[in-house]
Amino acid sequence: MTTPAATGARAGVDLAPLTTLRLGGPARWFVEATDDATAVGAVRAADSAGEPLLLLAGGSNLVIADRGFEGTAVHLATRGVAIDGHGVLRAAAGEDWEAVVARTVAAGYGGLECLSGIPGSVGATPVQNVGAYGVELSDLLLDVELYDRRSGEVRVVPAAELGLGYRTSVLKGTDAAMVLAVRIALHPDGRSAPIRYGELARVLDAEPGMRVPAEQARQAVLALRRGKGMVLDAADHDTWSAGSFFTNPLLDTGEVAPVLERIRARVGADVVVPQYPGGHGRTKLSAAWLIEQAGFRRGHAGPGQRVALSGKHTLALTHRGGGSTADLLALARDVRGGVQSCFDVTLHPEPVLVGCTL
């Protein structure tokens, strides 16, 4: 085996335990970075040696190939959370996102409560522009501190320059930068973001647009997520997932009518097709609803029943134990192909695929 590029790197560390799916092979070299200097140093060393690089923290949005990663994996385990007198949160990339949200609400601040229960690290949130229950990180994000691998510099990038969109940003699909910290503007009055999501509004008995105590909204969100198997629980295989595996399809204006016509031709002319504003004049459809209408029910099993759709939510592909990444991808292809065949709508994966393709 070649000499590691980074100081303190370990050989052949299994990456599966560092992912919420508990899937994936070993990294050729592995660095545990508990501070920014170690993280930046490991990345610089890998870059200087021309070594492939994988950055991971919470592992909630990764699908890693069974053969593992033929390069250096840097595990961001950095810590640090602070809220200043203006209600601005600064959190290190390696912090657990759910723990940070809980801390802000407990401290009397609102804004992030609808993003409660989302697994993963702080550093992943701007990459995906995480969102749930009518709130996206882009609603509150001020800027990110990152290491720019092209320039070799650490710099602060305003949120407006990150190209934040539906589950995407300029950081997604590229390893050109490593997020070190984020800054987020919280609501000092301790009340939630305006309640926009119908399901959450019903649970809270709130009118759309109302703001409620942040803790009240947080508990409602956590209850909804638990009911869908979307809050991590080591004993519950329904939570051994990468969260929502497919993004909700976004249709341009000219695509909407023919797609709806194909859907209704299959499921019935009187069926109400769930659809929502997708921004920039586009329409968003429900991937979970399309999957169900294509004949895939909760608990639908993949190869050897080692993987399956969650028993609580069809949008989550779960590992039931003893499975492989190949098993998971076979199930994903089955689901994607079924929706494509029925409705001519292509589903796109939300997690990052490392060393494998769908």
- Contact yes or no for 306/323 (Cβ under 8 A): yes
Tens digit of each residue's pLDDT (9 = 90 or more) over 198-257: 999 999 999 999 999 999 999 999 999 999 888 888 899 999 999 899 999 999 989 999
Does the pLDDT of residue 174 top 90, yes or no?
A: no
CATH architecture assignment, domain 81-227: 2-Layer Sandwich (3.30)
The CATH number corresponding to 237-354 among 3.40.50.720, 1.10.3720.10, 3.40.50.1370, 3.90.78.10 equals 3.90.78.10
In the numeric block, which tokens belong to residue 7? 């100081």
- Spatial neighbors of 2 by CB under 8 A, at least 6 apart, are none
User: Within the chain, which residue ranges are assigned CATH 3.90.78.10?
Assistant: 237-354
Does the pLDDT of residue 2 top 80, yes or no?
A: no
CATH architecture assignment, domain 10-76: 2-Layer Sandwich (3.30)
- Contact yes or no for 113/218 (Cβ under 8 A): yes
Question: What is the Cα–Cα distance from 199 to 131, expressed in whole angstroms?
Answer: 15
CA angle 321, 327, 329 (to 5 degrees): 125
Tens digit of each residue's pLDDT (9 = 90 or more) over 114-160: 999 999 999 999 999 999 999 999 999 999 999 999 999 999 999 99
Question: What is the Cα–Cα distance from 352 to 64, expressed in whole angstroms?
Answer: 8
145 is catalytic: no
Q: Pick from 132, 113, 123: which is nearest to 91 by CA?
A: 123
Question: What is the Cα–Cα distance from 199 to 219, expressed in whole angstroms?
Answer: 14
What's the pLDDT score for residue 274? 93
Active-site position among 121, 244, 310, 324: 244
User: Within the chain, which residue ranges are assigned CATH 3.30.465.10?
Assistant: 81-227
Active-site position among 28, 167, 218, 298: 167
What's the pLDDT score for residue 8? 86
Question: What is the Cα–Cα distance from 113 to 105, expressed in whole angstroms?
Answer: 7
What's the pLDDT score for residue 46? 94
Question: What is the Cα–Cα distance from 111 to 187, expressed in whole angstroms?
Answer: 6
First to last CA, the chain: 30
What's the pLDDT score for residue 24? 98
Active-site position among 51, 136, 145, 350: 350
28 is catalytic: no
Q: Average pLDDT, stretch 85-102?
A: 97
Q: Which amino acid is at 284?
A: K
Q: Pick from 271, 277, 307, 278: which is nearest to 292 by CA?
A: 271
Q: Average pLDDT, stretch 284-299?
A: 97
State whether the Cα torsion 197-202-208-210 is positive or negative: negative
What's the pLDDT score for residue 1? 61
- Strand pairing report for 177-185 and 141-148: antiparallel
> Residue 184's beta-bridge partner residues?
89, 141
48 is catalytic: no
